[in-house]
Structure formats: C-alpha cells, structure tokens
Structure 1
Amino acid sequence: MKTFSLSNRLAVILLASTFAVSSAFAQGDFEGSGEVPDPNCVGDGCGFVSADQAEQGEESASYSYGDNSSDENGSAENSSAEEPWPDSTEQASADSTESEDAPEVATTNIDEEDEDTPHYIQENAAEYRARKEGFSKGVQFGIRAAAGVSKSFGKHASDWNLGPEFGGGLMARLPLGRSFAVATELDFTYRLYSYEGKSDYGKNEASINESLFEIPVMGQFIFDEDGFFIGLGVNLGLKMSGDSEFKQTIEFEGETSKDKRPNTVPTVGVEIGGLFDIGYVVNRWLVLDLRAVQNLTNLLDLDLIAESTLMHSKLYTMHITLGATFLL
C-alpha cells in the first residue's frame, strides 16, 4: 500500500513537471527562451518574436490616426486621413518655383553701381545746404569788391567814351522768407570819364575823375535749388570829391595853340538810379553778381559848367560791374 502511494506521488510530480515545461515552451516566457509576445499584434492568434525584434518594432512602429468608414449611402472614404508633411527637398523646389514666378526686385544699392555717384550726391547736397545756410538764414554781412565800365547816354553823349570804375565796400542782407530778402551796401567807388569832340577851330578833350559813396538798396528774389538770385532796387550816389580838366586845341592859319582849364566841367553831388542785379551763390562764403545801374540824373552840373561846348549836354550814365561778395 505504501509502495503504491509513493509511486502515485512520483507519477503526479512527473506529470506536473511535464505540464509546466510544456506550458513554458508554449508561452515563450520561461527563463532563457529569448522570445516575447509580438508588441505590434493585438488580439488572438498573435505569435512570439525575439526580444531584439520586439524593441526594434516598438521604435519603428508607425501609427495611423484614421480608419475607413462607410456613410449612410454605403460609399467608403477616408474621413480623417491627412496629407503628409513635405520633406526638405519638396519645400526647396516649391520655394524655387515661387521665386521664379515672383517679380524681380532690385536690391543693389546705388552706391555699389557707380563709385562716382555717392560723391556726386554728397557734393550736390553739400553745395545746396551751403547755399541755404549761407544765403537764406539769418542776417548776413559781407565785403564786396567790383570792377566795371560806364557809358553815357543822352544829348551830346556820343563823344563820351567808355570809362573804367572800381569799387568796394560792406554788404548787409536780411532774409524775409525762403525766397526773398532785402540787401543794402555802403560802397566806395572811383570813376573816370573821358570826352573827345571837334569844333570849328580844332579839337576839344575833357576828363573827369570823381570819388563817391554809393548806397544800393534792393530786394532779392532767391532760387535756392540752383543758387541763382535776381535783385531790383535803387542806387544812391553821394559825391565825395572830384576834379576835371578841359583841353582845347585850336588850329588857325597854320598855327596851333593849346589851352588847359581845370575844374570847368563840374558834376552833380547826388546821383539817383535804378538797379538790376543777377547773382550766383557759389558756396557758404562767396557770391558772384553782375550789376547794372542806370542813373536818372544828369552827370553834369549845368548851373556851374563853364565850357560852352558842353553847356547843353545831358549825360545819363549806365554803370555795369562784376562783383564778388565774401560773406562773413
């Protein structure tokens, strides 16, 4: 009885061990088997894979976020599928296509096209600013120097020659806006007049030297963009000093006699004339102008003149000078 019971126990133990081993082989999870259930498989009937394949499968698994479904009419469509993201190659080709279709835009700086262009622009800008600052802002003072000629018009004026003149003085200018200003000067001027005429008995010559102060007052119309301006006004001349000389040459019966008489051809003490001026602002310090003054008063003082050949002369002189003003 005891022997049977021991045999039965051994048989039961053997059967249990066999069943455990077979179960371990069937499930693949016994120690040292190296196989695990497929992690990418869901449901019944899934097999086993090695542990390395299972790890690689989890890392490379792709997931789908949509499924196919049927609508009420029985037509199947993908309701939630999304378009894949474009890779770098597709995006680069798309960008290049858009850049080819897009209009071309010039991005080259003008300074890179021509080396002289920046200097030219800066030069013009500097000149324009200098003209505005030097001739359009604030009260300005300057020193003017001028030289020119004079010509007489009027009765018996054809015998009077061109005469040189020189002058210089102080200038003051007051802007009254961007395009208008009032200017005045105090100039010292020296003039020389000469006369040559014929008489029944010979030839007459005369010369006049005079020094005077001139006070021109003018309104100036300014063109800032070009640096030009024009001036219109009046000119007042105040005689400081003067002298004259009259030479008479008489030829009679083969004999020649000469006579000189000083200060017999006096000039007036005050001259009044109209003024026209056109000028150009060179830079902050220099202004050039061409000025014409037409006197409206007779040069000769007919009340004091002593020469009969000139007693009925009326001389209205025009003075044309080229001047340079140095601004302070």
Structure 2
Amino acid sequence: MDLKRLSVILATAFALSVPAMAQDDSSDDEGWATAPSAESASENDAPAYDGSTDSEFANDEEYASAYARYKAETTKKSEINRMRNEGFARAVMLGIRAQVGTNTFFGENSDGWKMGFQAGGGLMLKMNFMLKDLSLVPELTFNYRHYAYEKDMNIYTNTGSIDIFIFDIPIIFRYTFEDYNFYVGLGLNMGLKLNGTSEFKNGAATESQDNTISTSGMEVGGAFDLGYMLTRWVHVNIRVVQCFTSLSNKSLMREDIFLESSLNTFYTTVGVSFLF
C-alpha cells in the first residue's frame, strides 16, 4: 500500500470519530447540568427553624443567629410602621365643635345694640405646626346669630333685630401647655353670610319695617381662644372674636339712623370639641 492511500484512510477514520466524541461530551455535560447538588437537596429537605428549644436546630449557632436577625428585622419594621401611624394620629386630628354664646356690635354710632345670642357647630382640624406644642386649628362652623336693638329716644323707643345664618371660618394658632392641660390660641376669623333678615320699628310709627337694615356678605376679625383639655379627645374653650369690618351694608341701608353706623361684631362663645 502506498503512502497516498494510507493517508486517505487515516483522514477518513479521524473524521468519523469526531461526531462520536462530541456526542459523548454533550451527554456528559447534560448529566452534570441536570444532576441536583447535594447542598441544594439538603436545603430543600431541611425543616424550617421556628426558634423553639425543641427544634433540632436549637443548638446550631448558625441557624440560631440567622433566626435572631430575622426576628429583629421583622420587629423593627413593624415597630416603625406602628410609630409612623401613631405619629400621624398625633399630628393630625379631626373633630367636631359645638358652641353657644352672646354677641353685640361695637363701632361708631353703634349704641343701642344690646346683647344678642348665637349658636352653631361644625368641623375642625388640629395639626402640628413646626414646634412640638404649637398647632394649627382651622374650623368650618355654621352659626345662627340674633342681634337685638333698643334705643330710648325720650319720647319713644326704637327697636329692631337682625337674624343671620353665617359660616364662620376661624384659622387659629394654638399653643398647648401639656403639664397643665390647657391651651391658648390666636388667629383670624372670617364670616361668610348665607342669609339674613332684619326688622325695625320706629317708636313713632305704628308698624315695623322688614329688611330695612342691610347687612354685608362678609366680615373679618381676630379670634382669641382659651381652652382646657378634659381628656385628649374632649376639650372645652372660650372664644372671643372682634371683627375689624362692619356688618352694615351702607349702600343698601334704608334706615337713616344706621347710615353712619359701623356695626363691628363682637361675640363670646363657649364651645365643646370632640376629637378623633
């Protein structure tokens, strides 16, 4: 046999042997890839450690320390959530307030206006403001007010009254003295009139006149609060409000004696607040 034929035979045999070797290698790789490791098998078969002394892992320091870290982390998260919820509850509180009180007018040519009365109720919101014991307390209160007028004119007596339904919107900054369970507040009060009627009787006339004392639709004033906390949820307070603007609407006033009057509302109320 010459060298040329021998070389062809050897090349053919080598070419046929390569696929067989590759198939054997791939089967070996698949066997290694699919075979489960002893470590993963032992982890899947291992029972969970519950931290009890009866557990088979109770004396295993590695398991015990890992379980302790897990419990500490879980407790810390729940504690943070609880403190966050309690902090929000302390920072923002919703409530209702009911009040009754007396009112009158102060201002230029306001003599003759006696003590009237008023009553109402509404919603309030108490929220912390910058400092620990400082709170911002806005309210929305629906009130009924009755103003009474009586003036002796020597020969006869003039009488009158004003009845209005009004939304009071006080915005008060309150400072709380926690050690003594009381607070003081100072702020602004805005009133938005919803409806109003009036009656006036000139003592020289035989009949009274309706709606001749015209009132404006808005008033603005300052408010002062002094309150006591019966509990964290129940407060009582006294509120004093003096308005800077006049309730008299001079452009529509039909009674001459009130044309030059400034009817600045002054009222004092006693209120009870329920927070939740």
- Report TM bin, short chain: 0.5 to 0.7
CA RMSD of aligned residues (A): 1.9
Matched with 1:88 is none
Instruction: Output one character per residue of 1:123-164: Cα deviation in whole Å (capped at 9) or x when no partner.
Output: xxxxxxxxxx89x92200111000110122122222000010
Q: Which whole-Å CA distance do the structure 2 matches of 1:324 and 1:298 have between them?
A: 28
Q: Which whole-Å CA distance do the structure 2 matches of 1:190 and 1:298 have between them?
A: 18
SS of alignment partner, residue 309 of structure 1: helix
Matched with 1:249 is 203
Matched with 2:183 is 229
1:220 and 2:168 aligned: no
Question: Structure 2 stretches of 5 or more lacking a match?
Answer: 1-85
Matched with 1:289 is 237
Equivalences for 1:45-194 in 2 at 5 Å? Answer: 137-176=90-129, 177-194=131-148
1:308 and 2:256 aligned: yes
Q: CA deviation at 1:227?
A: 1.0
Q: Amino acid of the residue matched to residue 149 of structure 1?
A: T
Q: CA deviation at 1:175?
A: 1.0
SS of alignment partner, residue 208 of structure 2: strand
Q: CA deviation at 1:312?
A: 1.0
Question: Structure 1 stretches of 5 or more lacking a match?
Answer: 1-132, 251-256
1:326 and 2:274 aligned: yes
Q: CA deviation at 1:201?
A: 5.9
Matched with 2:210 is 262
SS of alignment partner, residue 159 of structure 2: strand
**Structure with greater contact order relative to length (CA < 8 Å, sep ≥ 6):** 2
Question: In structure 2, do the counterparts of structure 1 residues 201 and 306 end up closer, same or farther at CA, with 3 Å as the change threshold?
Answer: farther
Instruction: Output one character per residue of 1:261-320: Cα deviation in whole Å (capped at 9) or x when no partner.
Output: 110001110010001101111113201111101000112111110011111111222110
Q: CA deviation at 1:248?
A: 1.6
SS of alignment partner, residue 162 of structure 1: strand
Q: Which whole-Å CA distance do the structure 2 matches of 1:259 and 1:142 have between them?
A: 46
Instruction: Output one character per residue of 1:185-231: Cα deviation in whole Å (capped at 9) or x when no partner.
Output: 00001100111124476332111000000110011111111111111
Q: Which whole-Å CA distance do the structure 2 matches of 1:196 and 1:295 have between them?
A: 22
Query: CA contact under 8 A between 2:182 and 2:227: conserved in structure 1?
Result: yes
Q: Which whole-Å CA distance do the structure 2 matches of 1:142 and 1:283 have between them?
A: 14
Q: Which whole-Å CA distance do the structure 1 matches of 2:261 and 2:172 have between them?
A: 30
SS of alignment partner, residue 257 of structure 2: helix
Q: Which whole-Å CA distance do the structure 2 matches of 1:137 and 1:153 have between them?
A: 40
Q: Which whole-Å CA distance do the structure 1 matches of 2:174 and 2:95 have between them?
A: 16
